[in-house]
Structure 1
């Protein structure tokens, strides 16, 4: 029988999912007795329950129910090296065998700092445990050194679990209590209007922006927008912070290198420790010297403790990870992603659903959108375009056919992906369109 509506298809897909994953269901129920929602990382929750994984290798994931999936989520960009890179595995083993938790300085943090600074054109940096911490520290030091309070961010941005701005009208209730100004993303006219508002410009400490909004739907900023932020920062003597936690993998030197717009500070994280916990903030020496406890010029000294800032495993794995990730390797992965996104959009056009389903992104990162597309308006806030039922149905379809991605349609390739893996994704996606395109039109 041909299903007539997306809601009918979604209902059946959920029933099939439940019956096919009894072990995952049981694990979720058991975990829920101790963990609210059955998890300790909200982005991994999916209704009616998430898949429980027990093993990973290369680009495959194996579930508690004996299913194997091609991994197109890539640990939300942190799994850039796949699940079993031999060189990173050896580096972690070396770190374990040499002991960990020194409570003192090790040899590897200085070496990793050199590699990070040279790759991204950063003068000085400090390490943290996550991108969230890196952004928190960057904002904090910006306020201290500028003696100002306001922070300009943008609707659709995600800078960490306590720095989330789903839209210009909506902030996470868990956000830290800074004086945020939430502007529309990629809107040059808005930035120009701010120049005239002295109540803002006179007290603007920092501008924090992603050059492509990852969690916000993989929408990329225009070079003109980024340049307007550089000019605003210069005119207001505020600090321009590029959040490259996700985007640093999209071009050698990060997207700031691609666009040729230089920030005052950069935040990093995700993949840079080979999959281990990691974050980094850094920038101009005149800013970062505030963390130099040994300075003798009588200037400002800030304390930045953190038990695991220099944890041996992350430091050692990070050094090896940056050796593996040559410019050629990075370019090859992003070129594969560009082709994949192009072919997905061509499928949508071929099936006549391009106004209801489309793909945005840069390089190896992309997001599938389901909703009402407006011509020339790809930069609306992500929350405005969603057709949740269609988005969910697509996810269940991909899962049923052995392809794992984020429920929200987010895809991140790894250096382990090859053309044949992308072709399998496209094959399964086309199967979805063959079945459901008539409903989208």
Structure 2
């Protein structure tokens, strides 16, 4: 039985965190003199200050304060291969030895494109520097090909730093100024109603959707919802784009191969260059031929420049990454994640907190939630009643016990995780529940 209130427990946890991480705090204060909020990547900020890391190996992180953490964040899915995969390391070292930045074609981009197209069933593709860039290019291509303006997206979606839609009622003020329709995720009736609105259907260029919303809390779309989107795209002759920047790791051939619903275009990124900067967009040849400068049929030809689109490090690391990530390796990682999520939810039931604490996700990606559980409403609106204080207390507890994950409760496994690592995560979660279940309830 705990005698502390939630407020008291959180205050003590913050004080312990500050006391345990003086070097991280110092680094944060120094950086804040030149970087707003002490960082150049907003998702990494956490109050009162973020942990500063100085090295990493396998699935462990070492901080400036001499503390070691089991990494269950996996660089927000980009670190699928862990922090020091030997084959990827050798590939990068070989590039360093042979030189980089050619300002010309290298030997690796064609090989990487072949591997990606064959793995994900894409006819033609192009490379970018990030998933954000890939989504921007996919939207631009869709508008150019269809000669239409409107883009259907969904509340709770995150397609990049300038393509963020926290809810159906709000989008980031930094978003690029396209004509977005922000729809209800997983709401089939909404799509059916939309299909009857000629104001929308006559000017719809693209539908951009995550088959599982990653930053939006790891909520997966239903097969029926994705079917409805495919039907909407077909009837309006718009372009269906699956954002698989995160979800392509959930099944061999991408999450689309699990559902068996084929988009017109796919965007990729994150892990596919072994942890180096990378993005990719591609799809049907009849769409992607707008980039074929050999075209002589009088059709549209677009230019897609980008100094680092074919940077040698990412190209070669990507080729090696695809070799490492066999179907068996991918399936095993996701199987481990499925079991982990089930066991966390079983612990929540064991301690009677399942209506206030639960886990959602698919395979190796998941999110821990705290608040009022209303699953039947989640498909309508991402923004729901949540308990931020409990979310924070959980994070401080986990990092205080050497387990690193996102402040918002997001977890991403890597191919380096094993059963013993998951058991440690579960052990720390159970310790949290033993102490705080009576408050959570």
Q: Give the TM-score of the pair, scaled to structure 2.
A: 0.99
Contact 1:148 1:205 (8 Å CA) reproduced: yes
2:202 is equivalent to residue 208 of structure 1: no
Does 2:280 correspond to 1:280? Answer: yes
Q: Does the 8 Å contact 2:138/2:281 carry over to 1?
A: yes
In structure 2, the partner of 1:38 is: 38
User: Is the Cα contact below 8 Å between 1:369 and 1:385 reproduced in 2?
Assistant: no
Q: Secondary structure at the match of 1:287?
A: helix
1:404, distance to aligned residue in structure 2 (A): 0.1
Say whether 1:424 aligns with 2:409: no
Which structure 1 residue ranges, 5 or more long, are not aligned?
none
**Secondary structure of the equivalent of 1:7?**
helix
Matches of residues 279-358 of structure 1 in structure 2 within 5 Å? 279-358=279-358
2:28 match: 28
Greater mean deviation of Cα atoms: 90-99 or 396-405 = 90-99
Partner of 2:368: 368
Cα deviation for residue 3 of structure 1 reads 3.6
Q: Please, which moves more after superposition, 2-11 or 371-380?
A: 371-380
Tell me the distance in 2 between the aligned counterparts of 1:15 and 1:3: 18
Aligned to 1:384, the other structure's residue is in SS state: coil
Equivalence for 2:268: 268
C-alpha separation between the residues in 1 aligned to 2:322 and 2:2? 51
Distance 2:309 2:351 in 1: 50
Q: What residue number does 1:231 align with?
A: 231
Instruction: Give the equivalent residue in structure 2 for 1:406.
Output: 406
* Cα distance in 2, alignment partners of residues 409 and 9 from structure 1: 18
Shift, 1:385, TM fit: 3.3
Shift of 1:374: 2.0
Aligned to 2:128: 128
The match for 2:48 is 48
Aligned-partner Cα distance in 2 for 1:218–1:381: 14
Which residue in the other structure is 1:140 paired with?
Answer: 140
Q: CA deviation at 1:378?
A: 4.4
Q: How does 1:245-260 map to 2 (within 5 A)?
A: 245-260=245-260
Determine if contact 1:132/1:162 at 8 Å carries over to the other structure.
Answer: yes
For residues 295 and 339 of structure 1, the distance between their equivalents in structure 2, rounded to whole angstroms, comes to 50
In structure 1, distance between residues paired with 2:116 and 2:102:
22
1:391 aligns with 2:397: no
Shift of 1:376: 3.6
Tell whether the 8 Å contact from 1:13 to 1:396 is kept in structure 2 after alignment.
yes
May I ask how many residue pairs the two structures share in their alignment? 441
Report Cα offsets for 1:119-177 as digits up to 9, x if no partner: 00000000000000000000000000000000000000000000000000010000000
Q: Distance in 2 between matches of 1:367 and 1:291?
A: 38
CA distance in 2, matches of 1:206, 1:91: 38
The 1:380/1:45 distance shift into structure 2, 3 A limit, reads farther
In structure 2, C-alpha distance between the alignment counterparts of 1:93 and 1:402, rounded to whole Å = 31
Q: CA deviation at 1:380?
A: 5.1
Alpha-carbon distance in 1 for matches of 2:395, 2:381: 21
Match runs of 1:131-210 below 5 Å: 131-210=131-210
Helix, strand or coil at the partner of 1:383: coil
SS in 2 for 1:358: strand
**Rounded Cα–Cα distance in structure 2 between residues aligned with 1:396 and 1:305:** 44
CA distances 1:380-415 after superposition (whole Å, capped 9, x unpaired) = 544313210000000000000000000000000000
Which portions of structure 1, spanning 4 or more consecutive aligned residues, are displaced by more than 6 angstroms?
none
281-290 or 91-100, which moves further after superposition?
91-100
Kept in 2: contact 1:291–1:301 (CA 8 A)? yes
For 1:314-361, what per-residue CA distance to the aligned partner results, in whole angstroms no more than 9, with x for missing partners? 000000000000000000000000000000000000100000000000
Question: What aligned pairs does 1:67-86 form with structure 2 within 5 A after superposition?
Answer: 67-86=67-86
Contact 1:3 1:9 in 2 (8 A): no
- The aligned residue for residue 99 of structure 1 is 99
Q: TM-score, normalised by structure 1?
A: 0.99
More divergent stretch after superposition (376-385 vs 14-23): 376-385
CA positional deviation for 1:379: 3.2
**Is the Cα–Cα contact under 8 Å of residues 184 and 379 in structure 2 kept in the other structure?**
no
* RMSD, aligned α-carbons: 0.9
> Helix, strand or coil: the match of 2:383?
helix
Deviates most, 429-438 or 381-390:
381-390
Aligned CA distance change for structure 1 residues 380 and 237 (closer, same or farther; 3 Å): closer
In the alignment, structure 2 segments of 5+ residues that lack a partner are: none
